[in-house]
Every structure is written in structure tokens, then in C-alpha cells.
Amino acid sequence: MSDPFVVVGADAAGLSAASKFRREAPDRDVVVFEKGRWISFAYCGMPYFIEGRVERLSNLLSLSPSEVAERGIDLRRGHEVVSVDSDAKTVAVEAATGESLTQPYSDLLVATGGRAVTGPFDVRGVDGAFTLHDMDAAAAMDAYIAPPDEYDPARADVSAVDRERVDHNAAQPAPETAAIVGGGYVGVEMAEALHGRGLDVHLFQRSDYLLPPFGEAVGARVAAELDATGVTVHTGSPVDALVTDDDPGVGANSRIEAVEASGETFPADLVVVGVGIRPNTALLEDTDVETGPGGAIRTDEHGRTNLPEVYAAGDCATAIHAVTGEDAWSPLGLTANRAGRAIGSTVAGTPTPVGEIAGTAVVKAFDMECGRVGILDEDEAIEAGFDPVRETVTAGSRSGYYPGSSDTDVTLVADRDTGRLIGGSIVGADRAAVRINTVATALESGLTVAEFERLDLAYAPPFSPVWDPLLVAAKVLNGSLESA
Amino acid sequence: MSDPFVVVGADAAGLSAASKFRREAPDRDVVVFEKGRWISFAYCGMPYFIEGRVERLSNLLSLSPSEVAERGIDLRRGHEVVSVDSDAKTVAVEAATGESLTQPYSDLLVATGGRAVTGPFDVRGVDGAFTLHDMDAAAAMDAYIAPPDEYDPARADVSAVDRERVDHNAAQPAPETAAIVGGGYVGVEMAEALHGRGLDVHLFQRSDYLLPPFGEAVGARVAAELDATGVTVHTGSPVDALVTDDDPGVGANSRIEAVEASGETFPADLVVVGVGIRPNTALLEDTDVETGPGGAIRTDEHGRTNLPEVYAAGDCATAIHAVTGEDAWSPLGLTANRAGRAIGSTVAGTPTPVGEIAGTAVVKAFDMECGRVGILDEDEAIEAGFDPVRETVTAGSRSGYYPGSSDTDVTLVADRDTGRLIGGSIVGADRAAVRINTVATALESGLTVAEFERLDLAYAPPFSPVWDPLLVAAKVLNGSLESA
């Protein structure tokens, strides 16, 4: 094998890197180890599969193993990289067949992704209790929700699927009530999905508002939207325990019956635990690799770790935050794809920055479109050295006389000393989400609020009032800065 | 009168300036002269009124004369400023009553707006032939379209309306066929409006594609959309003459019968001439005022003309283009509002930049949302000193597996030498228009294509694929720049 580029993990970051590298360095070998059977699937699409809006599990696959092979990439599924020897420049691999092997590398990319954490709750072996971070879980939950006589096995139409687990879940009685533990992205998206499947849904959130990274203005509006559609939202209400028909938290193939929160017991035939993810970094545990926020692998502007010729990208790696200039951990799809692609070029000989992150994120909650970017949290802003000033405005999304305008809440945060815009959020029913990209671009360009207020943004009655809601917010925030 | 700020024109720019000035300089007088009876109305809303989507003419008014008076602004409707003596610092005013007066000023704002031009066509005194640049025309056209026994006089529910003209038009037989002369904003919006009123609509455009400022990719897509909805589009087909039941182009109260184009005669009971607007600058004709592009009054970064203490803003004035740094004329609503507001502050003692323009514009054509910004035209780019490179891509607006994705065409233009992004356009059915604001922000921040490609834009399946269509375009354009 000539001068091999070894990639660990065959999802967004890993396969983007391998594909880009393959095109730019046709004379070198590239091998991708993937511990499981799944490759290149859309995490973000799983709630929509469960909702039924996406018809087939296969719709969520971007690339098949044979397409990867056609690109000239040596893909080895069922091969787990268990350790890295950065002096010898080798990785130790254990195959699902029981075989062990040692693979030398010239360059190594760790793209091992993240895993769902469950907090104090053990969902293993409990029927009706799920996390949602892999395709087998999505297929199993979908099968569990369907009444046994109505489940269509063609929904899980991918050979890699854990068919036994699907069949077991399909045989269970259909749930009527659902409890979602955690009101982040996954929680909110799953609330919509399960409501769409006809379940009576209760969403439990530890803190006082949903979607904490989006800030209170967004979280409160989303809670109101969920309530209005019939999802019961419990904020400030952490789940204390899962109740099964066995002893709580114990026993294989017990079935979920309820959750306990705020001293009450809420019946639940289905529980989704969505309390966050953590980076998968175990394979580097015995190295001197540096880690950063969230325990993710620290990387520089080219995706390099502190180990020679070892890169990291995707949900297991940090990136540089455009606003703070510091390491940050933002496990999202674009970050992974972009960093993978850049590292593929860099390893192939063209140094390419992975790009900074701005923490840009959007989420749909029924008719509400939510967006956030940058630093919204007061403490986080102060810790990064800013003196944050914030304003929230409510403005129409269209000219007042044009039908269909929706109240749009915009929050902007700036640094008092420099006037620099450091964060923003938006929520509304009419094209709100994509508007956050304007704020992201401003943040990454280092604009002040005064500069932002003077941006020549588009106006036409069906799409915006004369003053776009973002400009209204900037005007108000700039007024606060000037009067301060 | 103490140290008066005199404003000519009571629309967006003029009243924004007067209102802002009133708040910031409560001890000085402000007087606004308006030659007509209408103030503060939404030009951009008129097509939607005619379409019927907006129920009442009054819905298009932002401020009533009494609300203006309540703000402490001395508003004089029916007062035309006919000349300016910039040495004496006075304006000559002729009132509709026949009275003449001379008004001294300390500071003067010329906010006289623009007027629709008709090219070689004289629509005056021809029933069924209209331009669309004032509220009386909108009310008259609306009345003309309605069958005489179905017209609701409450549609034109504003006392300022030319009731005689409305009544005359309401009495005309209802038109069945319409010809629109000019495929710019007004033409495209009126095509949708008249189609919505049940007319058989033909749209004639001199050049080879609609919406020339949006570029060919947008224009072609909009033509296809109009065709698909039943509007007949004639591109490369200038109208040569209007045909009336009298001698063509002559005679009061003749009625339109047809238009001639490309050697053919097309029957038309209604004709809308929308071939452009020109700045109203007659009142400065006898001064040494400098003019710029389009014959508009040249202004600096604070909205000042070359005459001392004389400002200009809105559709009669130039502004500085963010990409070229040169004077440009972009008669649009935000430009007017923003400049007026800034000049109000400047005159009150707080110098405030009016802001640069980027030529940002959006327009709706049935289900198509269109946006443009910056320099798209090849010749214009070369003239501004750029070596333009362009790419157009078609990308989905959502993740492929998520229902409702729409092909979105993005064009980006960059300067070959510097890599700087200088223009962009977008068209698509799913949230395309507001996406142009991201490009506007990048242009105004001076980003290169490489920097734009690395922006952290939002991703969630309902709103965007992992790579937003804008990023896909940037990737392709950056590839072209690198390989050049």
C-alpha cells in the first residue's frame, strides 16, 4: 500500500475526506475503517423518517458501499480501530470477524463521530425506550410505533438494518403516550414526529425553556407552538426516573410504563432520551492527544491534532469559533462535511482551511422556524471577554398589508466596547430560519451593529417589510449601545 | 420660523427625515411640502392591491396627514416646490390654491421621488392604458378591471383619491385581455396581478429575458413560470405601438384595443406600460446641482448634494455602491427610508451615514422567488474595473429526502484578480428570495469567494441541504477561479 491515508469512520467527515483525497491524490491509497455496518447516513433526517414524512430508511443514505468502492476508496465495514500508535504511525484494528490487524498510515483522520448519552437512564433492554443516534434505533422506533398488524417491513429497506431488533419492536403493541426526555433539537423534532404519528406527547426539559442554545426568546415561542399543537411541554422539569414494568432501570426486555418528573408519574408507552451527545475519542485514549471543549479532539485551522499527521473532523473534533477565535465544539453536519473535504485536500498536498464555525443552527418545530448563531448566552459571552448587550424585537415578516405576515422575534447580541455583533437568534413562521444566515455572514465578517444596521437587505412586500426584522433588531440594539 | 428644515416630498425619504429630525431637534421647525394629495404610501404594494390580495387602498398608507401633524411636522399638501435658490437659501412654492410663496431654509432635503416614463407611448386620455406609479392610477386600474356592476367603491377608501377618475373607469366594460409593456419588476408583478383577476395576459419584453437586472438565469426561470401559469411571455419583442379605437396615440377618451409587436397585432382591453422610472429633479434645474447615474441628484455618504445645506434622498438621488464605491442609482424602498432617516439625524446635529447600497432586490413571480445583488452584468462589471467570472448552479433547497425541495438556481460573480465576490442572483420556489441577503452581507463585507465558501451557514433538512445552494455555487465558482 502506497503512502496510505487512513480514515476512521465512514460518515460525513470521513467519506468527504476520502472522496476529496481520492480525486486529488490518485496515486496514493485511501482506506476507511468503519466499525459498524452503516455508512454515510443522515442523522438529521431520522426524526422525519419516524414521523413518516420520509418513506424509506434508504432515503436517508447518501452513498452506498458500492458507490464508495467505485470512487476507489478501500472501505472496510465491521472494522473497529481500537488504538493509535502515533510514533509507529499505525492503528490497531479489530474486525467483527474476530481478526486483528495493524494498519500503517502516512496520514490519519479520526472521524469517529459522537454517541448519544443517556444521563442516568439505562435504556438498554427496555422495550419502548430509545435514544436516537443511529439508523438501527430509528428503524426500531418506527417499527415499535406502528400497530403490529400495520407495520410495513419495507420501511426499513436497507440490508444493513438489525432485522431482529426491527421484528421484535414491530411485534410490540402500539404506544399511545410518549415522553421525551430533553428539549433540545432531538427532543423538539421528535415531539413533532411522534405527534405526527398520533401519540399523546409530553416533552420534559430540565431548564426553564426549550432549545437552550437558541436562547429564551426562541425557546418560549417554541414551547407555545408545541402547546398550541397539543404537545404538553414541561419546562423546569427534569425527568428523575424511567418506570418500567420490571424494577425501574433493571432487567432485559422490560417495557417502559412511565416517567417520573417533579414528583409526579406520567404514563408513557414510549420514551425517547435525547439529552445530548459526546465525542467518540476512545481510540486516542492512550495517546497524548489534546482535547478541548466537550472533551472533543482539539484541532487547528487545518484540522490537525497535536499528534503528527493525525487529523480529526466531525462530531469528535473541535473547530475554531469565528466570534471568539477559541476552540469550540459544534457537532453539526456542515462542520463535518466541510472539515472532511478540506482535510482531504490538505492531506493530498493542498493546504486548505477547514473553516471557522459560528455555531449556526436551525430547527423546525411545527410551523415555527428557529435559527441561532454565535454567542447568545450571557455567561459564555462574558467568559469570552465580551460585555454583552442584547435586544429582542418582534417584527412582521412581510409588509403589514400583505397577507401571511408572521411575527418574527429577533434577538441580537453585541459587545458594548467594540459594537461588534456577537450573536443572534430568530423565530417565526415565515421564512425565519434561513434569515439567520445573514447574521452568520455578518458575524464571520466581524461587522459592528452599526454596520449591520446599514446593510442593504432585500425588500418586497411578500418577503419582507421595508425594514427587514433583522434590521429592526439592529436599529434597536444600536440605540441601546449609543445610549449606554 | 426657527432655523427651519425644509423637506420637499412627503413619501418614504421625506417623512422618514422629518420624523427623525423632529425627535432629535425638538426646538427647530420642520416643514414638508408635497405637491399632491397623497403622502406616505406603498408603491410596492400597488400590484397586490390590483390583484385583490390587498383589500383596501387605505391598507397601503403608512401615515395619515393627521398622524404626521401629531408628530409636530408642518405638512403642506398641494404645495409644489418649483425652484431652489441655494444662494438665498429659499425655495419657491406654488400652492394648488394658486398662491405663491417663498420659504427660507436652514437645511433642505429634496425627496421628490421618481415618475413612471412611458417611452414613445402616450397613455394620457386613453381608457384602459395605464402606468403604475401613483395611487390614483392604482385605484383607476382596479376600477377599470371590475365589471361595472361588480365594482365596490369601498376599494378606493381614501379621501385623497381622484374619485372622478375612479368612477369613469368603473363605468367601463370589464377587460378580458391585457398587454403589459415591459418585463421588469412592475411588468412581472402586474402579470401575476392581472392573471389573478382573470385576464388573459400577454407580457412583452424588449430584451431576450425578463427582469434584466436579475440576469438571464433568473429571467429565463421566471418566463417559464409565467408560461406555466398561463401568462404568455413575448421576449425579444418590443411593443412598437398602442392601438386605440381612435387614431393610435391621439385623442382624449379613446379606448385601447391592441398593441403591435414583432409585426403582429395583439388585442388588448388593458395595457400597462411599465418601462421604467426617472428621477424628479426639475426643481433643481436652475441650480448648479450635480447629477449622476440615471440623471439622479448626486449625493455623498451623508446624503449631501454639492449645494450647501441641500440634501437629496430616495428615488431622485444617487447613493454609493458598496461593490464599486461609485455613485449608483437604485430607486428602492429601503434606500429611501434609510437615507431619509440618516439625513434627519445629520441635519439635527448627529452626522449619520446614509449607508451604501448593494443593489439588493427581490421579486415574486407566482411561486418563484427571485433575488439579485451587486454587479451581475458583464459589461457593468468590466466598466467598474473587474474581470468577472461567473458560475450558475442548480441545487435543491432542502435535503433530498425531505419533501418540498425546490430546484434553486444560484449565480455568483467574482473578480478574477482578487477573488472578491461582486454579485449574485437566486431563483427558486422555496425560500429563495430572503437567501439573497446572505450574499448582500458578504458583498458589503468585501468577502472573497473562498471566504464565502467557508461560511458556516445553517443546515436542517426542512430548510437546506448540508451545503446550502449558495455554498454549492461558491464551491463551483471557487473551483473556476482556482483553475483559471
State which residue of chain A sits closest to B482, comparing Cα positions. Answer: A350
Q: Is the dihedral of CA A45, A46, A51, A53 positive or negative?
A: positive
Tell me if B60 and A401 make a contact (CB, 8 A cut-off). Answer: yes
d(CA B9, CA B115): 13
Instruction: Choose among B111, B100, B101, B122: nearest CA to B20.
Output: B111
- All cell numbers assigned to B420: 472578491
Nearest by CB to B360, from A447, A451, A456: name it.
A456
pLDDT at A250: 47
Where in the sequence numbering do the catalytic residues of A fall? 44
Contact A316, A110 (CB under 8 A): yes
Do B227 and B291 meet the contact criterion of CB atoms below 8 Å apart? no
Q: What architecture (CATH level 2) is domain B367-483?
A: 3-Layer(bba) Sandwich (3.50)
Centre a 10 Å sphere on the Cβ of residue B358 and count the other Cβ atoms it contains: 29
Question: How far is it, in rounded angstroms, from Cα A404 to Cα B19?
Answer: 29
Sign (positive/negative) of CA torsion B282, B283, B289, B291?
A: negative
- Which letter does DSSP use for residue A174 in this model? P
Q: Do B466 and A358 touch (CB under 8 A)?
A: no
User: What type of residue is A77?
Assistant: R
Which residues of B are annotated as catalytic? 44
Q: Which amino acid is at A213?
A: P
Cβ contacts (< 8 Å) between B458 and chain A: which residues?
A: 360-362, 371, 373, 433-434, 436-437, 440
Task: List the grid coordinates of B29.
Answer: 421647525
B14 φψ region: left (φ > 0), alpha (ψ -120 to 50), beta (else): alpha
E-assigned strands of B387-461? 388-396, 407-415, 421-428
For every residue of B30-64, DSSP letters joined together read: EEEEESSS--SB-GGGHHHHHHTSS--GGGGBS--
Residue with cell 420624523: B19
What residue of B is the nearest CA neighbor of A333? B466
Tell me, what's the ipTM? Answer: 0.96
Length of chain B: 484
Question: Which residue in chain A has the smallest CA separation from B470?
Answer: A437
In whole angstroms, what is the distance from residue B476 CA to residue B426 CA? 15
Residue A40 to residue A12: CA distance in whole angstroms: 6
Q: Which residues, in sequence order, are CB contacts of A115 under 8 Å at separation 6+?
A: A133, A277, A278, A280
Contact B42 A461 (CB under 8 A): yes
Nearest to A459 among B333, B461, B462 (CB): B333
CA B323 to chain centre: 20
| CATH 3.50.50.60 residue spans of chain B | 5-36+78-114+277-348, 126-273, 367-483
* Residue of B445, B456, B466, B478 to mutate when probing chain A, most A C-beta within 10 A: B456
The pLDDT value given to residue B247: 58
CATH class of B126-273: alpha beta
Instruction: Output b/e per residue, A385-422; b: 16+ Cβ within 10 A.
Output: ebebbbbbbebbbbbebbeebbebbbbbbbbeeebbbb
Indicate the pTM of the whole model: 0.97
CATH 3.50.50.60 residue spans of chain A: 5-36+78-114+277-348, 126-273
A–B CB contacts, 8 A cutoff, strictly below? 204
CB contact under 8 A, A403 and B53: yes
Distance CA B16, CA B103 (A): 21
DSSP state of B294: G
Contact at CB, B459 and A45, closer than 8 angstroms: no
Task: Express each pLDDT in B270-290 by its tens digit.
Answer: 999 999 999 999 999 999 999
Of A332, A369, A399, the CB nearest to B42: A399
For B149-166, give one letter per residue: b (16+ CB within 10 A) or e.
eebeeebbebebbbeebb
Q: Between vectors from CA B187 to CA B181 and to CA B190, what angle results, nearest 5°?
A: 115
A454: chain B residues, CB-CB within 8 Å: 338, 353, 355-356
Q: Taking a C-beta distance cutoff of 8 angstroms, is the pair A252, A443 a contact?
A: no
Q: Are A261 and A238 in contact (CB under 8 A)?
A: yes
Q: How many CA atoms lie within 13 A of B221 on its CB side?
A: 28
Q: What is the pLDDT of residues B201-211, one digit of tens each?
A: 999 999 999 99
B107: alpha, beta or left, given left = phi > 0 and alpha = psi -120 to 50? Answer: beta
B437, B444, B445 member nearest A458 (Cβ): B437
d(CA B257, CA B275): 20
What residue spans in chain A does CATH classification 3.30.390.30 cover?
A: 368-483
Contacts with A441 from chain B: Cβ below 8 Å: 438, 441-442, 445, 447, 455, 457
Q: In the structure grid, which three cell numbers stand for residue A270, read together?
A: 414510549
User: Which stretches of chain A drop beneath a pLDDT of 70?
Assistant: 1, 247-252, 484
**Cβ within 8 Å, pair A403-B364:** no
CB contact under 8 A, A334 and B457: yes
Model pLDDT, residue A119:
87
Name residues whose C-beta falls within 8 Å of residue A70's C-beta, 6 or more positions apart in sequence: none
Q: Map grid coordinates 496514493 to a residue.
A: A28
CA distance between the termini of chain B: 65
Chain B residue with Cα closest to A444: B455
In B, minimum Cα distance to A60 occurs at B401
Smallest Cβ distance to B441: which of A434, A442, A460? A442
pLDDT < 50 regions, chain B: 248-251
Q: Give the Cβ contact number of residue B385 at 10 Å.
A: 11
Residues in chain B within 8 Å Cβ distance of A400: 59
B371–A456 C-beta distance less than 8 A: no
Query: DSSP readout, B125-183?
Result: TEETEE--SSHHHHHHHHHHHS-TTT--GGGG--TTS-HHHHHHHHTSPPP-EEEEE--
Task: Give residue A294's Cα distance to chain centre.
Answer: 14
Residue of A nearest to B47 (CA): A461
- Cell numbers of B195, please? 392573471
Instruction: Write down the residue that cell numbers 417611452 correspond to.
Output: B119
| Chain A residues near residue B444 by CB distance under 8 angstroms | 451, 455-456
Q: Tell me which chain A residues have a C-beta less than 8 angstroms from the C-beta of B401.
A: 42, 45, 48, 54, 59-60
Q: Which of B59, B355, B431 sits opposite A456 (nearest CB)?
A: B355
For B343: left if phi > 0, alpha if psi spans -120 to 50, otherwise beta; the answer is alpha
Q: Considering CB atoms only, which of A357, A434, A444 is closest to B431?
A: A434
- Cα A313–Cα A317–Cα A318 angle in degrees, nearest 5: 120
Enumerate residues 6+ apart whose C-beta is below 8 A from A367: A225, A429
Question: Given this model, what pLDDT does residue A454 score?
Answer: 95
pLDDT of residue B253: 74
CA distance B127 to B129: 6
For B383, residues 6+ apart whose C-beta sits below 8 A from its C-beta are none
User: Is the Cβ pair B438, A433 closer than 8 Å?
Assistant: no
Choose, out of B437, B454, B470, the residue to mutate when testing the contact with A (most A CBs < 10 Å). Answer: B437
Distance from CA of A468 to the nearest CA of B (A): 9
Which CATH superfamily does the domain covering A368-483 fall into?
FAD/NAD-linked reductase, C-terminal dimerisation domain (3.30.390.30)
As a whole number of angstroms, the distance between CA B125 and CA A475 comes to 46
Find cell 437629496 and name the residue. Answer: B312
Q: B436-444 and A432-444 are packed helices; what angle lies between their axes, rounded to 10 degrees?
A: 10
| Percent share of chain A, pLDDT over 90 | 94
Distance of CA A210 to the CA centre of its chain: 16
User: Nearest to residue A374, comparing CAs of A428, A412, A319?
Assistant: A412
Closest CA to B426 of B443, B410, B441: B410
Candidate from A60, A362, A438 with C-beta closest to B441:
A438
- Chain B residues with beta carbon closer than 8 angstroms to that of A456: 322, 334-335, 355-360, 373, 440, 444
**Would the CB atoms of A447 and B442 count as touching at under 8 Å?**
no
Hey, what CATH topology would domain A5-36+78-114+277-348 get? FAD/NAD(P)-binding domain (3.50.50)
Q: How far is CA A172 from the centre of its chain?
A: 29
Q: Determine the Cα–Cα distance for residues B355 and B367; give it in Å rounded to an integer.
A: 32
Whether residues B401 and A455 touch (CB distance < 8 A) is answered with: no
Cβ pair A463:B433 closer than 8 A: yes
